[in-house]
Amino acid sequence: MTEICTVFNAQSGIKVTLHPLAIPAYEWLTILPKLMDWKTLPASFKASLLSEPLRGVMHYESTEKNRTIRHKPTKFSLYAPLWPALYWPANHPPDGTILIHNSATNQPNDQDIERAAWLSVLSLMMFSVDRRSIAELRDSLQTQLPEHLSRTLFNKKKISDADLCRWTGITRGTLIQQRQRGKSTTTTATTIDPLEALAKPWSQKHE
C-alpha cells in the first residue's frame, strides 16, 4: 500500500511523546551499550544528529469557526527513529525538526508501528562498531569523509586520534596496538608461501 505522508516542523505548540507501542523498544535502547560518550561529542555534530526527521502519528484538535472545521496539530507520537529521544534537551526535539506522519485517512496499523520502532533500535546494534576496530574507523574516516562535511559537523578538517580517544574512552596506546595488528594481518595475507611458489609450473622466464 502506498503511504501518503505529510510533514510538520517541530514547534513548542506540538507536544512530542513516545508512541505507546514504541515504549518497549525505547526501554531496550536505554540499556544498549554505547560506543561513544554523547557529552564529549562536538555541539555542532550533536545538533545535526538531533535535527534528523522523525516518524510518528500526529494528533489533532478540531475546532469549528464560521462553519469551517479546522484541525490543529497538538501532539506527535514518535515511533522511529527512537534514539534521538535519549538526548533531547528539555525532552523535546529541536524546533524545526521535521515530523513525518501519515494522513488522517491512512494511518499505519499497530503492527507497522511496532515493527518500525524495533527496527529503528535493532539497526543500531546491527551496524554498531566493534571496539577492536576503532583505529580502522578513524583511518577510514580520514580518507573518506569529505573535508567540508568534517568542518561542518566537527569544526575541524580531520578527525584525530585524540578525538576518538575522548569520545570512546579508549587510550592512544590501544589505537596504536590496533593499527599494528592490522598491519600484521595485512602483511601475513600478502606474504607469498614458498611451498606454493615452488608448486607453480616452471617456465624459462622464472629461471
Regions of the chain where pLDDT drops below 70: 1-8, 12, 184-207
Distance CA 188, CA 183 (A): 9
Whether omega for the bond prior to residue 20 falls within 30 degrees of 0, making it cis, is: no
Give the tens place of pLDDT for each residue, 136-146. Answer: 888 888 888 88
Q: Provide the pLDDT for residue 201.
A: 54
Domain boundaries, the chain: 1-128, 130-189
Question: Considering only CA atoms, which of 71, 80, 74 is closest in space to residue 104?
Answer: 71
Q: What is the DSSP string of 85-146?
A: GGT-GGGSPPTT-EEEEE-TTSPPPHHHHHHHHHHHHHHHHHTPPPGGGHHHHHHHHHHHS-
Tell if the pTM clears 0.85, that is, is over it.
Answer: no
Q: Provide the pLDDT for residue 203.
A: 46
| Sequence-separated (6 or more) residues with CB below 8 Å from residue 122 | none
Q: Provide the pLDDT for residue 60.
A: 86
Among positive and negative, which fits the CA dihedral 108, 124, 50, 26? positive
Is the CB of residue 108 less than 8 Å from the CB of residue 57?
yes
Q: Provide the pLDDT for residue 184.
A: 62
